[in-house]
A and B are shown apart, each in its own frame.
Chain A
């Protein structure tokens, strides 16, 4: 239950609990001896029930009971009546345990297992749940079990939705109820159930509903979480959107054959040196798409109209769907100037994942269907400005910032600039002062907005560009440097969408990720797709410092799923270095053609590791600044 203060135990309580422990120990010893000897007599089974009544967390005891049930069910003389009585007994034991601790995972799980056998009254389960909900309407174990029960008895999502509303009306600070609502609505919308055909209407109604909670008590967080989900549903377009391409639609690209010609000074973003005679074209979508091919995308360039381009998904998981697609255009080295046009084709062909003709180009006017999304956001913005005019509210400010960013992003193609970014920056600056305990988060968000603002257009970008006249690495790098001060991008690598964005930078040749608190090589996964990368600086990070990379569990990297298929048993040892110790590094580096790598300042970078790197990276010329022989 909630809001109960913890009391210091009194001496007599302690004595009582010591006695309880002793009793429990004795029970447990006896129980384990039955369990190990596979004794399923009535007496033994009853003992396990006794144990579970005192300690519902005893997973072994639940397991033992499962074995015992199976044992009895498999008896030759078992009949429907005896089966039912065995399972009913189990339900009783679970009920008693839940009375002891109604948040016992083991007990709820056992109940699921018993009910799944299909001999129990599911209506009874619903009644039982009502009792638990009455005791604590925020018991998420009960909510979890409720979803299972509702599904097994084919209760309609509409009925369950009504139930969440009832619970919310009783007490709206109920994360579980709001969450269940979001799950049910997603299903109903996907099914296009009656009354849920129009996502627009459903979402607008939900906005109205959640406003009641948020305005009544802005200090309660559960409502804000649901609002965030609604915002996400509003922003998420049904069809994929081409966010950007390189080169941009209708742009001119300079392809100087001679590096000494410093034309790039004048057009820094559209000048390309290529030694291979290949010219990458990159398409970047807002979600993974399939089926990008020469028949769905038309590329017109000054010197090549007919060539069938081969489009490849840049997917870290090697699937056929990717957010980033690349094709290479061959060009004659003599040609200096070329203009490129990229169109989304109006293909009639059906493409398995998503039809390409649904694709809306950024340059196209907004399709009418998404107008309601912008309108909904505009309404929300007005609403929360009003709330903030009444009171100072941190989460209100954060929400407003998110709304403004979403609105800007949605209307970017029309306005072609970020209208609200200044206001958003101010909101985040405000929040950093108001809420110092979440300073880092706001700082990161602030930085991302700043970065977006800078990169939103050529003008803003040029303001931050500098030229190095005496560039040390002029042999490989373009002598232009983008300098942004006071950015905090610490979260960039904990969120996989940000990681994935890097693979779109097909022309990236020199990357410094110095001092970024990277915890493992897994974070570098997208770099595998950067074929032009020659110089990499990952010095002074935290690779190897933590035996377990906790960030990986927050958002599992696609790498962790793909390893199995790529793993070549023959490659387990390179020289005398056991690959098993560095498998993450191996998978990143074996696909790169680095000339220069800096790794100093990481816990992992010992002599062993360095000699491993030299073997994995045959192209490497400098390691931590030292020329390799």
Chain B
């Protein structure tokens, strides 16, 4: 026990709430609890904020993923204590099939620190998102700056990117739709707007609202192209809506209309925003950090680089007492929230059944929501000349017949401070059932849009290949044609775990969505479960007036 790192002792030792891990849900709850005048200790074993929601440099990124790809069993029972049982934490693997390839190590090594790679990409905000409202309400928005995503495209297997006609002006400008299609689409938008505004004579019937959205679109006589735009590029649906067999999530008209309403409310919410979507400067990791700063202002205590080793449980009633830090210090609190990577294995063979068994569904925590395949690519050329920040959606079956889910790709350029000048970071994601399927989805997009240098090498032997790869890259970009060449890529499959609210709580992992709305919903419920009598960021909590509390949008 003598070779423990010199962790500083924490004082006081008793809190209302201890939060371990600075992922977004944990950070929001920490800020909300601090705002509600709870004493909160927020710990993170990592030296950075954000955990599974962080944005990392090119060197930190692989080590973070690798460290969460393995499961660790707890070391033998730590020192006991006369008042409580000490249960050592184990970690479970959250990422699998991690595959990192570098084709230009020298170039990237030089700039490694200039990258802010989102672990949970692709992510954007709709301007009218709940998460935006939450940032405004909580005051977290003052620590963030955003920029507009310039465009949304629908991709096809030929590598074409079609503008999504998502507004009146965009329909007018669109070059791919015929005059009749423009008329049909605009009339559909007007119908939806009229319905939402409660205009007289425009009302979508209750029967239609309860029917599948795709049936309603068919009923409106919309051609397949327009249906694709609406379902996958505006409502951002994941599963193939026209194949009931594989569709796990058939969107109802009611929910489809809500999605359109969100999109519609987003376009033009902020005068500086070009479209519906915005992205935070320096990456998504800023978001968790903003809530942490908010929490700190409200009195939350922060300690980074502080691993926790064990859970302290009351010997008699099995109730949670506190945690043991890597420093050996024991800290106590009424409530605990854990990073999703932690599990608490129960002592084996304890009989009669340990009283904890009933109280620890944590150990069996697994959910059937499948996985999300994520891919990150770095290139030196934009996929689309003249614009750097945009979203591309590949609807189901658009790339290959067995593609059952939408694949989304977000390109972010250096003007969002996520990479060095003249480079671009591409985030790809798709829901999948298993690793092979996920990888296939990612590869299909990469092959459509990018030139992948022939010698695929993992990090280990990439150095040898680098020179040839770099020269071939130069040759191609000089030719000025064809697809951008891949400089670096990371592909991984992430587990989708739900949050858990029991007598100790486990925060959820990033979901497969494009925005944070579902996560915010879960987090609000989380908070309400823990603090039934407290208001989640009461209005008055913000000392900033409406005028100061806007969203900072750079143009």
- Which of A's residues lie within 8 Å of B, judged by CB? 169-172, 211-213, 215-218, 383, 386-387, 390-391
Contacts and interface: CB of A to CB of B under 8 A. Distances in A.
A69 to B, nearest CB: 36
Closest 7 CB pairs of A and B: A215-B179, A215-B183, A216-B172, A216-B182, A216-B171, A215-B182, A216-B186
A166 to B, nearest CB: 11
Contact of A212 (B172, B180, B184, B187): B172
Contacts of A383: 179
A221 to B, nearest CB: 15
B454 interface: no
A596 B274 CA distance: 73
Nearest to A389: B180
8 contacts: A172-B168, A211-B179, A215-B182, A215-B183, A216-B172, A216-B186, A383-B179, A391-B183
Nearest to A173: B168
A212 B183 CA distance: 9
Contact of B169 (A169, A218, A387, A391): A169
Contacts of B184: 390
Most interface-central of B172, B180, B182, B183 (chain A CB within 10 A): B172
B173 A390 contact: no
Contacts of B171: 216
Nearest to A386: B180
Interface of B: 168-169, 171-173, 179-180, 182-184, 186-187
B166 to A, nearest CB: 13
B192 to A, nearest CB: 15
A308 B169 CA distance: 64
Contacts of B168: 171-172, 216-217
Contacts of B182: 212, 215-216
B183 A218 contact: yes
Contacts of B169: 169-172
Identify whether the interface residues of A are mostly helix, strand, loop, or mixed.
helix
B493 to A, nearest CB: 42
A612 to B, nearest CB: 59
A456 to B, nearest CB: 34
Contacts of A216: 168, 171-172, 182-183, 186
A201 to B, nearest CB: 19
B478 to A, nearest CB: 32
A210 B183 CA distance: 13
A243 B168 CA distance: 44
Nearest to A387: B183
B218 to A, nearest CB: 17
A380 to B, nearest CB: 12
Contacts of B183: 215-216, 218, 387, 390-391
B230 to A, nearest CB: 16
A388 to B, nearest CB: 11
A581 to B, nearest CB: 55
Contact of B173 (A169, A215, A386, A391): A169
A390 B180 contact: yes
Contacts of A170: 169
Contact of B172 (A172, A218, A386, A391): A172
A14 B184 CA distance: 48
A61 B247 CA distance: 72
A387 B184 CA distance: 10
A215 B180 contact: yes
Nearest to B165: A216
Nearest to A135: B271
A218 B173 CA distance: 15
A216 B188 CA distance: 11
A213 B182 CA distance: 9
Given A215-B182, A216-B182, 7 more contacts: A169-B173, A172-B172, A213-B172, A215-B179, A386-B180, A387-B183, A391-B187
A171 B186 CA distance: 14
Contacts of A211: 179
A426 B77 CA distance: 94
Nearest to A171: B169
A530 B535 CA distance: 89
B145 to A, nearest CB: 21
A390 B180 CA distance: 8
A390 B188 CA distance: 13
A212 B165 CA distance: 13
A217 B180 CA distance: 11
A220 to B, nearest CB: 9
A194 to B, nearest CB: 25
Nearest to B175: A212
A169 B175 CA distance: 13
Nearest to A393: B183
A391 B191 CA distance: 14
A390 B185 CA distance: 12
Most interface-central of A212, A387, A391 (chain B CB within 10 A): A212
Contacts of B180: 215, 386, 390
Nearest to A208: B179
Nearest to B221: A390
B179 to A, nearest CB: 4
Nearest to A213: B172
B255 to A, nearest CB: 27
Contacts of A169: 169, 172-173
A216 B179 CA distance: 7
A169 B165 CA distance: 13
Contacts of A390: 180, 183-184
Nearest to A217: B186
A127 to B, nearest CB: 16
Contacts of B173: 169, 212
Contact of B179 (A172, A212, A217, A391): A212
A442 B187 CA distance: 27
Contacts of A391: 183, 187
Contacts of B172: 169, 172, 212-213, 216-217
B387 to A, nearest CB: 15
Nearest to B181: A215
Contacts of B187: 391
Nearest to B179: A215
A217 B172 CA distance: 9
Contacts of A215: 179-180, 182-183
Most interface-central of A169, A215, A216, A391 (chain B CB within 10 A): A216
A465 B173 CA distance: 55
Contacts of A218: 183
Contacts of B186: 216-217
B167 to A, nearest CB: 10
B178 to A, nearest CB: 9
A591 B184 CA distance: 61
B421 to A, nearest CB: 28
A84 B319 CA distance: 82
Contacts of B179: 211-212, 215, 383, 386-387
A464 B168 CA distance: 51
Nearest to B186: A216
A218 B179 CA distance: 11
Nearest to B184: A390
B513 to A, nearest CB: 30
Nearest to A212: B172
A217 B168 CA distance: 8
B428 to A, nearest CB: 30
Nearest to A219: B190
Nearest to A209: B172
A171 B173 CA distance: 10
A217 B184 CA distance: 10
B408 to A, nearest CB: 27
Contacts of A387: 179, 183
A496 B128 CA distance: 55
A387 B169 CA distance: 19
A215 B165 CA distance: 14
A397 to B, nearest CB: 15
A613 B222 CA distance: 71
A390 B222 CA distance: 12
A230 to B, nearest CB: 16
A99 to B, nearest CB: 17
